[in-house]
Structure 1
């Protein structure tokens, strides 16, 4: 089972590298969307904590 997990990890890394090299514009869009979502979540969490503290 451990060998399967290791193989899948390497396959995922290879797929991501292939995607980045063949579709850099699309990859940048995915990263941008992901970071935007994280920033939105952090902003929402900050607002919640400020509301609880007030």
Structure 2
């Protein structure tokens, strides 16, 4: 239980550090994640459109 809490704090600290030291790269990473999610959702929509058509 304690290890999970410490790991969470370390991860949050790393994210904050990354945001402050490399904001452009952090924004690019977030943008890439959202682009991937949107692409996946579009592909899922195409799949169901083809299955139900």
TM-score > 0.5, shorter chain as reference: yes
Equivalent pairs counted in the alignment come to 53
How far the C-alpha of 1:26 sits from its partner, in A, is 0.4
Residue of structure 1 in register with 2:20 after alignment: 21
Supply the RMSD in Å over aligned alpha carbons: 0.5
State how far apart, in whole Å, the 2-side matches of 1:34 and 1:27 are.
11
Structure 1 spans left out of the alignment, 5+ residues:
none
Which residues of 2 match residues 1-54 of structure 1 at below 5 A? 2-54=1-53
TM-score, length of structure 1 as denominator length: 0.94
What is the TM-score normalised by the length of structure 2? 0.96
Gaps of 5+ in 2: none
